[in-house]
Chains A and B, each alone.
Chain A
Amino acid sequence: MAEAAPPPTLTTADGRPLKAALLAAQSRAKRRAFLLVLPLLFFVLLTFLIPIGYMLKRSFEHDGFAASAPAVVAWFEANPGFDPANPPEEAYAALVQDLARMQEEKTTGIAGTRINYSVPGTISLFKKGAREAKGLTAPFRESLVALDATWAKPALWRGMASASNVYTAEFYKVASDLKLTDDGWARGEDNERIYLYLFAKTFFVSGLITVICLLLAFPVAHLLATLPMAKSSLLMIMVLLPFWTSLLVRTTAWIALLQEQGIVNDILVGLGLITEDGRLTMMYNMTGTIVAMTHVLLPFMVLPLYSVMKVIPPSYARAARSLGATSWTTFRRVYLPQTLPGIAAGSLLVFILAVGYYITPALVGGADGALISNMIAANMKNSNWSLAAAVAGMLLVAILALYWLYDQLIGIDRLKLG
């Protein structure tokens, strides 16, 4: 009996195996599709990803002290296990040498600022020390301490040892409200814990705005979804107009409305609800931030809700009613569950946008209504670049987590505009 012939492989007209030809065609199609996206990817890499990566690098780096105090940096390198409570005389000698050098090269401010992040109050200490450094004599420990007792503090020596490295995670510690004490890093006093407090406040206010937006948007989206086309298109314009109007125009409008001599107060006085002296303060505080931000973000809630409600068949509600459900039960058990995808999409989008908001709080929020973005801007303005970058890095992580959640729950390709 002859052996069975191997099954013939299918080939294309020019004799190549069909499988290989298909694979080649598929990978060619893949390459073509990818080539179309490549220019934009390159552009986004250059102008978006690299700047953000560079910012993250800056959040881990500061050479203010490392570059201006070479002698003491070298000493820290040679003696990694020194006792910060009792540094030896040669460390003090190196420090005095560096202080004199800083005075010459005018780098006292930079060096002092670097240490100041972890040990507050050191800028003036360094300035004074540098001014007197030339005249100091051995033993340097005693003469420096005679100038200012802070020079012997373990916290200061810990801070200098940490700052002698250009790369550090210190700014993330500072942005988490930790500070350097004589025994190492510890939580600051309650009244000094500004960053975590601001993060918490930002998340709380964003949550509040999301809830207000949901409550306001739900009936409106429902009305738009159930009205006949002609009427709903007209009303839709009222939702889309704020969306298209400049953010600064809307913020200006809220200033005109909310300020003490503004229109809302005028109306309330005119109606006799409040007296002339009892005018409400609705601006430059949290009220201003919340009202203006709700107005700005409301369309982002209405639009996803509307697109979900639009496709809910009205016959479901009628069926529920005919089966004996009350109108409340119909809403709660039949209609509301069907709107959940819209609620999730709108709420997450509004929350994400609210957490990173900058302009509106900066213009109508005042000090009380400031959010974490305003803190980043304030640090940038005061040239605390590494600290600003670290706070921005923490915010970025939070936003990316929310973005990932959005992608998992709703899918990023379902994002629609208008």
Chain B
Amino acid sequence: MALPTYASPLERAWYYTYLVICGLVFLFLIAPILIVIPLSFNAEPYFTFTEKMLSFDPTGYSLRWYDTLLTLGHPDPETARDSTWWSAVWERATWVQAAKNSFWVGLWATILATVLGTVAALGLSRPEMPYRRLIMALLISPMIVPIIIIAVGMSFFFAKACVAPDSAMGAIFGMFLSDKGCLANSHLGVIVAHAVLGIPFVIITVTATLSGFDQSLIRAAHSLGANPRTTFFKVIMPLILPGIISGALFAFVTSFDEVVAVLFIAGPDQQTIPRQMFNGIREAISPAILAVATILVIISVLLLVAVELLRRRSDRLRGVTGR
């Protein structure tokens, strides 16, 4: 907003005050996130800048907390860093295990949420869909209902959702469930819970993309002899793909950042990064958490850039200019 030439001195003063206010709000938004990056290179076990760090003394900085991420839980961290040492890191280190769990749970939850959500969004954006508003409200509600309520409900229900390990059902599903054959304390339980939490994001982004979708393209494809499968993969899919991918990224981030459901329904085998961080903040707070936080900030910057590029591509495909 440029200042008009007829502005009075008072308006000018207000305009600059307004810019300062905006600057402060941006600082409030961004500074806490950026501040964890230099703090994670602290040489001391403190959560704040030391004298040495402030005077840019190189001895005030170190990579020791990043090293902790590899050595915590390592059977013999002091030995030489050969291939055995690194394979022990891969197999045993606490944070590496948490990262692996987070990644796999996030991946499967994303696939589940994206496939189910995209198919449902196709139905929801058809004009003839019955009870559209009600169903939409239901499918968005996992985002609105407090996560603590969902987690409590799941912790009750998943503990009862069991199959006998020696039954036919147990033979099929047993490997996905806990030792007792229950959804609680199992990877499947966490995946399913995270998929539910990711579904609203997929529904919102894909229906938003479909709202600009020209439905007559489908009829055109049919009239030219394409069957529904070809129509979907050759006509609909390429046009809504940016929406699907950004919905999938939202779902992945939701799962990757989710801690409350994990706290309530997961067992010790489902330690994820957020859970490890939550426990770390609650119990022994060490700058190792800041090192993890820094890595996560870098990941989120990359994801944000990816989503922005996708959105621009989607707008271009749909012929929308500007934001």
- Contact status A358-B281, CB under 8 Å: no
- Residues in B neighbouring A220, C-beta threshold 8 A: 22, 25-26
- Residues in A neighbouring B123, C-beta threshold 8 A: 32-37
- Residues in B neighbouring A247, C-beta threshold 8 A: 257, 259, 274
- Listed residue (B18, B36, B149) with the most chain A CB atoms within 10 angstroms of its CB: B149
Instruction: Choose among A36, A242, A380, A399 the residue that contacts B144 (Cβ–Cβ < 8 A).
Output: A399
- Contact status B144-A403, CB under 8 Å: yes
Tell me the residues in window 27-52 of chain A with beta carbons closer than 8 Å to chain B beta carbons: 29-30, 32-37, 39-41, 43-44, 47-52
Instruction: Choose among A40, A232, A416 the residue that contacts B119 (Cβ–Cβ < 8 A).
Output: A40
Interface residue range, chain B: 35 or more
- Contact status B146-A373, CB under 8 Å: yes
Number of interface residues of A (CB under 8 A): 96
- Contact status A356-B128, CB under 8 Å: no
Contacts A44-B196, A359-B278 aside, 13 further interface pairs with beta carbons under 8 A come to A32-B126, A41-B139, A54-B156, A54-B160, A219-B25, A229-B323, A244-B300, A244-B307, A249-B293, A250-B33, A392-B148, A403-B137, A418-B307
* Bound form: Cα–Cα A222–B147 in Å: 32
* Bound form: Cα–Cα A412–B156 in Å: 29
- Contact status B149-A392, CB under 8 Å: yes
The reply to whether the CB of A147 lies closer than 8 angstroms to some CB of chain B is no
Can you identify 8 A-B contacts, CB atoms within 8 angstroms? Answer: A39-B119, A50-B157, A55-B153, A249-B33, A254-B32, A295-B29, A415-B140, A416-B204
Closest residue of chain B to A355, judged by CB? B146
- Contact status A30-B128, CB under 8 Å: yes
Closest residue of chain A to B282, judged by CB? A363
B91 to chain A, nearest CB (A): 25
The reply to whether the CB of B241 lies closer than 8 angstroms to some CB of chain A is no
The reply to whether the CB of A10 lies closer than 8 angstroms to some CB of chain B is no
Closest residue of chain A to B205, judged by CB? A417
Chain B 1-33, CB within 8 Å of chain A: the 1/0 string? 100101000010010001101100110111011
Instruction: Choose among B122, B156, B199, B293 the residue that contacts A246 (Cβ–Cβ < 8 A).
Output: B293
The reply to whether the CB of B163 lies closer than 8 angstroms to some CB of chain A is no
The reply to whether the CB of A180 lies closer than 8 angstroms to some CB of chain B is no
- Residues in A neighbouring B290, C-beta threshold 8 A: 252, 256
Chain A 218-258, CB within 8 Å of chain B: the 1/0 string? 01101100110100110111111110111111111111110
Chain B 123-161, CB within 8 Å of chain A: the 1/0 string? 110101110010111111110111111101111111010
- Contact status A238-B293, CB under 8 Å: no
Tell me the residues in window 197-249 of chain B with beta carbons closer than 8 Å to chain A beta carbons: 199, 201, 204-205, 207-208
* Bound form: Cα–Cα A363–B112 in Å: 31
The reply to whether the CB of A310 lies closer than 8 angstroms to some CB of chain B is yes
- Contact status B29-A413, CB under 8 Å: no
- Residues in A neighbouring B11, C-beta threshold 8 A: 327
- Contact status A356-B119, CB under 8 Å: no
Contacts known (A54-B153, A358-B147); A259 close to B264, Cβ less than 8 A: no
The reply to whether the CB of B253 lies closer than 8 angstroms to some CB of chain A is yes
B5 to chain A, nearest CB (A): 12
Contacts known (A51-B156, A257-B35); A238 close to B144, Cβ less than 8 A: no
Identify the stretch in B43-51, B60-68, B72-80 within 8 Å (CB) of chain A at 4 or more residues: B43-51
Chain A 337-377, CB within 8 Å of chain B: the 1/0 string? 00000000000000010011111000100000000010011
- Contact status A34-B129, CB under 8 Å: yes
Instruction: Choose among A52, A227, A261, A399 the residue that contacts B1 (Cβ–Cβ < 8 A).
Output: A227
Contacts known (A256-B35, A256-B47, A257-B35); A52 close to B129, Cβ less than 8 A: no
- Residues in B neighbouring A249, C-beta threshold 8 A: 33, 36, 293, 296-297, 300
Tell me the residues in window 151-187 of chain B with beta carbons closer than 8 Å to chain A beta carbons: 152-158, 160
- Contact status A241-B300, CB under 8 Å: yes
- Residues in B neighbouring A399, C-beta threshold 8 A: 144-146, 149
Tell me the residues in window 75-91 of chain B with beta carbons closer than 8 Å to chain A beta carbons: none
- Residues in B neighbouring A293, C-beta threshold 8 A: none
- Contact status A33-B28, CB under 8 Å: no
